[in-house]
Structure 1
């Protein structure tokens, strides 16, 4: 399933957690199955160019399983399971219904992160593997076994069962390699292997010890080629392959056009698909189009049959915070904290509740209560939670002007951000952090407005004020953005200079993800 990429993506994006302390809770955004994975077939760089595969001799889902899989993609798990019930009863070792049933369970675990459901669904995954062992060998049987093994391993890692999770992850990865070798024309296996290869190949250096321990070797270029093959070849999982592919280009290579077109097409074709509505919301949010993201949230399908996705409330809370609707943002985050069964993004939600209360002028008691919630026991593996926890321990007051401007830029309200920044004044007692952030906020606002000369000037100023060792993300992010700007106009030598400069900065809140993006950009320049 598409969630595979999100699990790996969040491992790459872990915050300030040394590799030796990695716990296996990969910090998936509750449901965020697709925060980083779609792409339609494209005439791409050599790394993504596809050649056609010969038609496979077998390996298609049954018509009933295909209908159930379509329901899983809509996040309508109840109807999907009902469709599968009779088929599983009549053909208990058939790979198609077993695979789709496992996809439904895996989606539920990753979206809900409900520990109370883990044991039951873990046993069901193991039972499906045992049933597949009794089925005759085929491309679909071997693919289903490898895919379910990966699902099982990732589920175990998510709930901190590290030994068995690592074992199954390694086993599933090598099984999928064998499926591709034995059935080279079977496109679905190239989809999953491609996602794994890209994810493993782009992990930060701090996790290479883990890869060696698990016996993983991978190359991002090989992964992208396999994904391109799966996306171009008609098969039951072609749409999923296209989603993975376009989100990689959008999230890691800053090339969002294909992803936006694909997402718009999918939503138009299936307005009743909650996953596609989420994709539209997520991509629009990352592209700083807050109004489009809010429109997707409000138009999302709801009702009986859909899997509850509390993380959508957290995303909406962010969007409303950008817009300055602080009361509505507070309500959405409170709904998220009430309904979500997992542990991640709780610190981030508390931080955003604090911002909404503070910027909205609530009483000091309410503001302080939300701030203290940040420090409640819980993991800070993902960067958003890590940032919130770092803010709490740093105990330095935020600048209200810069905070408002940052939120406005995040939502794409760039002209309003520049108006907000007009009232900013440097004082002798001002924090060094705020002196660095001010030109960075101006740069991002000008960049969002397409005024690239002004953006470049303020990105340079950010790095001048910060120097080479400031422990904040503003300067390395400024260098990363300048690298993208130079790359977009074909100035590859200049782009390389700035990508390498971004890598040289010491620890900051977003170093893992910043470094991963800079390294992928450098690889593309080669």
Structure 2
């Protein structure tokens, strides 16, 4: 349960996400030193290289960048495209050695950009984008201090650019997402904002700016149109809590998810998070394949999750594929845990123990899901199979099936070690089924029993009550429960839950 901030910063695109939640892939190409003052132009050759990069056709992108350098040696847009590709490489592979090798390119690229025409709006914009790429990449490897400084540099350049070139629409794409994110930075990242200072923004401000970019792109040929669409969808999903708008943005985008693994990821990510598990499977199983595309193992991880939410053992094949091909450290523990869960709900105790042992030994414990998986492995206590089935069905938006599983075993959970989780899960299911009375009753039970428990059940119950009351227009009660959420300090998913509570308060106060 990552925060919007972490989804964009920690996950591939999530992302973050996005600010550039959907910027993922790889390659390294150095343009020779230019003579004279460089220019900035998305010429036909530059557009081809950019498009190939975002289709993850990296060999083709390399060739097109070489053609661009030969035909237009003064065109510095190629430098920006190079940086996109390095950034994608790092986000997909999460290879620390590769990160340190590619990071050496940053300073040289900034120097090249500064040889360009300072009167062009792309002069500051390209520098800002490069700073943002490396800030987001660094957070993968927990280099937070340098990352925040790079964000500050990007913010300053974008702000200056906005003052000098207010009609330069691309600027608002990045500045808008930064404004939205800054308005909801979670508690454990506030030190960064205080340290660097001078950065302010709100969700509403960022949304307005991105909507202006989308409106512009509908009537003009705008190179960053798809990026902006993906960003806006993430903003609606993670910061505005508007699942319907998030999916409609993607569905009406005109982007075909079968043309690029990156587009596949964008659509599948939103579909999975908006309760469209069957659609997610359809999207992921129709993804483009072939040697011309860069490998994207995370798509297998997502497909494994989708099948697991259906309680289907096919999940194990795709989760194992992720483990076999991913080079980084994130989601390794969680993938092992999810395979273990698949075996556990079918009564395979030996299989469960085998993969939970692997969970202890493999991968990192940086992100929330991996930390939870590690904790389960170390505790040696498996989840209750009934509650686990209900949880997975709920995550897949199979709410009626989840309710049936829980109600069938209700008498067994009135007290004891699992009564807290039972109340929480029943509350979640009834909330989605529209039975607010039953949801309220069970959430209040979970908060009463769990406010001092290290698990996240009480904290998320308070958050969900805030969301329920906000949807009903009862802003006073919504504020009370959002603040209750912020007062609880679970060990699990604290940043994510507090981020969402802050976003809820911001939504309310922006209307008053």
Counterpart CA distance in 1 for 2:166 and 2:277 is 43
Q: CA deviation at 1:485?
A: 1.8
* Contact 1:321–1:329, Cα closer than 8 Å, also in 2: yes
Q: Which residue of 2 aligns with 1:150?
A: 132
Number of the residue aligned with 2:36? none
Q: Which residue of 2 aligns with 1:271?
A: 258
Specify which of 43, 46, 51 is matched with residue 62 of structure 1: 43
Which runs of structure 2 are paired with 1:201-240 in the superposition (5 Å)? 201-220=183-202, 221-234=204-217, 235-240=222-227
Separation in 1 of the partners of 2:444 and 2:378?
Answer: 29
C-alpha separation in 2, matches of 1:124 and 1:357: 45
Aligned to 2:460: 477
1:512 correspondence with 2:499: no
CA contact (8 A) 1:177 1:193 kept: yes
**What TM-score, normalized by structure 2, do the two folds share?**
0.86
SS of the counterpart of 1:136? coil
How much does 1:112 deviate?
A: 1.6
Check 1:81–1:410 CA distance in 2 against 1; reply closer, same or farther (3 A cut): same
Structure-2 change in CA distance of 1:378 and 1:116 (3 Å): same
The structure 2 residue matched to 1:368, chosen from 327, 333, 353, is 353
Deviation at 1:74, TM superposition (A): 2.4
Q: Which residue of 1 aligns with 2:437?
A: 453
Distance 2:395 2:211 in 1: 31
Distance 1:267 1:406, change over 3 A: farther
- Separation in 1, partners of 2:343, 2:333: 15
Listed one character per residue, the Cα deviations across residues 138-180 of structure 1 (whole Å, up to 9, x for unaligned) are 1112211221132234334434556655544433332222222
Instruction: State the alpha-carbon separation in 2 of the partners of residues 470 and 155 from structure 1.
Output: 34
Aligned equivalent of 1:284, options 268, 271, 277: 271
SS at match of 1:233: helix
Q: C-alpha root-mean-square deviation of aligned residues, in Å?
A: 2.8
Gaps of 5+ in 1: 1-6, 14-25, 40-57
What's the CA shift string for 1:270-316, capped at 9, x where partnerless? 63132222122111211222111111111122222222111111111
Q: Secondary structure at 2:252's aligned position in 1?
A: helix
The residue number in structure 2 matching 1:358 is 344
Distance 1:516 1:359, change over 3 A: same
Residue 51 of structure 1: aligned partner: none
> 2: CA distance between counterparts of 1:139 and 1:427?
63
SS at match of 1:426: helix
- Select the residue among 84, 87, 95 that pairs with 2:65: 84
The answer to whether the Cα contact below 8 Å between 2:340 and 2:355 also exists between their aligned partners in 1 is: yes
Q: Which has the higher contact order (CA 8 A, sep 6+)?
A: 1
Deviation at 1:453, TM superposition (A): 3.5
Work out whether 1:343 is the aligned partner of 2:329: yes
Is the counterpart of residue 379 in structure 1 residue 364 in structure 2? yes
**Partner residue in 1 for 2:31:** none
CA distance in 1, matches of 2:430, 2:499: 25
1:322 equivalent in structure 2:
309
From the superposition, tell whether residues 427 and 184 of structure 1 become closer, same or farther in structure 2 (CA, over 3 Å): closer
1:400 aligns with 2:385: yes
Post-superposition Cα deviations, 1:37-72, rounded to whole Å, max 9, x if no partner, equal 699xxxxxxxxxxxxxxxxxx976222222322222
Match of 1:491 in 2: 474
> Structure 2: which 5+ runs fail to align?
22-38
Following the alignment from structure 2 to structure 1, what is the Cα–Cα distance between the partners of residues 474 and 322?
44
Equivalent pair of 1:92/1:131 in contact (CA under 8 Å)? no
Checking the alignment, whether the CA contact within 8 Å between 1:36 and 1:251 is kept in structure 2 is no
1:503 to 486, 490, 505: 486
Q: Name 2:28's counterpart in structure 1.
A: none
Deviations, residues 434-469 of structure 1 (Å, cap 9, x unaligned): 101112222222233333333333323333443x32
Cα distance in 1 for residues equivalent to 2:3 and 2:63: 30
The alpha-carbon distance between structure 1 residues 499 and 278, as it changes in their structure 2 partners (threshold 3 A), is same
Q: Is the 8 A contact 1:35 1:282 kept in 2?
A: no
SS at match of 2:479: helix
Aligned residues: 484
CA contact (8 A) 1:38 1:241 kept: no
